[in-house]
Amino acid sequence: MKANQISTGKIIDGKEVFALELKNSKGSYVTIYNYGGIINNFVVTNAAGDKQDIVLGFDDFDSYLSEDYLENYPYLGVIVGRYSNRIKDGQFSISGKSYQLTKSLHGGESGFDKKVWDILPTVDPSLTLQYISPANEENFPGTLTVQVTFKLSEEDELTLDYKATTDAATPVNLTHHSYFNLETHGGNVANHHHRMPASNYLAQDEEYIVTGQVLPVEGTIHDFRAGKAIGKDWDPAEGYDQSYVLDTPYGELALASETTAASSGLKLEIYTTEPVAHFYTAKYLNVEKAKGGKDYHPFEAFCVETQHAPNSVNIPGFPDTVLMPGQTYTQTTIFKVSK
């Protein structure tokens, strides 16, 4: 069955915005907007037999466009690109030529999260979105064609397969920015149990810019290798906003994180082919009148953003993020829910 398409009635930049729903026979479903690739719902059955939505978002599409939301914009559930996280001073060089981007987060002032993606025909029970980013958009070189395919399995695995090609050398570092909360009634995520197979993390400066220094997690608050409550070692005023180097060889699909919540009995495992997972516990989250009329506050969600290292375009020796003509960027990330 193809994704069910429901029009939102909105036309943005001449393109219609749809809500697209993927379902499985267990009654689990995912709702995705072709605006920003937003995962608006990810509904599964918890240990008590109740339906539970594990991602943050809104009850209606219009709220994603509201001034109040955009003023303190947290990138709820979006595709991030061309370049996730931060590039130092918004600058990089390719083959001796320097480029200056808007100094901002997650791809610029109007990144992939604010674009209406085309819906491509598919033969499987899946959804493929495509966006063609023109040369010099947000000052990035090259025309970049990006496709992201979403597929929901019978085992409640939501797979995201990314593919991108370019006609000129350009940095590419894509991720998805879903905010998760596995507790039955939401709230602070400090009691979620979290595990990450990462023996090292990446040093950051005062602006959260990755410096290139790789540090061991052993003996620090960043050691999640054996698993622990998210709030066990954190500074409750800061939480986590940190990139971790996964122990698995780059390119091999393997576990990036495993998170559970006692109240729901749910477990979320995230698998990826990417070398880094950025773990963020939503320090800056501040959203009013979200799903069910609830307000979202700091530390009431967590994100695991699978990607290459932030700022790696400026760090020799880190896995390369420059895509060349004739090459194809690929990435797979899987969100698997069980109980």
Alpha carbons within 13 A on the beta-carbon side of 290: 20
Instruction: Bin 210: left if φ > 0, else alpha if -120 < ψ < 50, else beta.
Output: beta
pLDDT by residue (tens digit) across 190-234? 999 999 999 999 999 998 999 999 999 999 999 999 999 999 999
Q: Does residue 146 carry a pLDDT above 80?
A: yes
Q: For position 2, what pLDDT does the model report? A: 59
Task: Please give the C-alpha separations between residue 239 and each of 82, 231, 325, 327, in angstroms, as whole numbers.
Answer: 27, 8, 40, 38
Per-residue confidence band for 321, with pLDDT thresholds at 50, 70 and 90: very high
Could you tell me the end-to-end alpha-carbon distance of the chain, in angstroms, rounded to an integer?
Answer: 26
- The chain-wide mean pLDDT, for the chain, equals 95
pLDDT by residue (tens digit) across 304-319? 999 999 999 999 999 9
**Number of structural domains in the chain:** 1
How many angstroms separate the CA atoms of 110 and 75, rounded? 12
pLDDT by residue (tens digit) across 82-141? 999 999 999 999 999 999 998 766 667 889 999 999 999 887 789 999 999 999 999 999
Structure tokens at 136: 């010099």
What is the DSSP code (8-state) at residue 55?
A: B
Q: For position 109, what pLDDT does the model report? A: 81
Q: What pTM did the predictor assign?
A: 0.96
Query: In degrees to the nearest 10, what's the CA dihedral of 206, 209, 210, 212?
Result: -80
Q: For position 294, what pLDDT does the model report? A: 96
Q: Does residue 1 carry a pLDDT above 60?
A: no
Could you tell me what percent of the chain has a pLDDT over 90?
A: 93
Q: Does residue 276 carry a pLDDT above 70?
A: yes
Structure tokens at 16: 């219609």
How many angstroms separate the CA atoms of 181 and 29, rounded? 16
CATH code where residue 175 lies:
2.70.98.10
**Amino acid at position 115, single letter:** K
Q: For position 125, what pLDDT does the model report? A: 82
Domain enclosing residue 224, as ranges: 4-338
How many angstroms separate the CA atoms of 55 and 275, rounded? 24
Q: For position 3, what pLDDT does the model report? A: 77
56 neighbors 77 (Cβ within 8 angstroms): yes
**Residues involved in catalysis:** 177, 305
Q: For position 107, what pLDDT does the model report? A: 62
pLDDT by residue (tens digit) across 45-85? 999 999 999 999 999 999 999 999 999 999 999 999 999 99
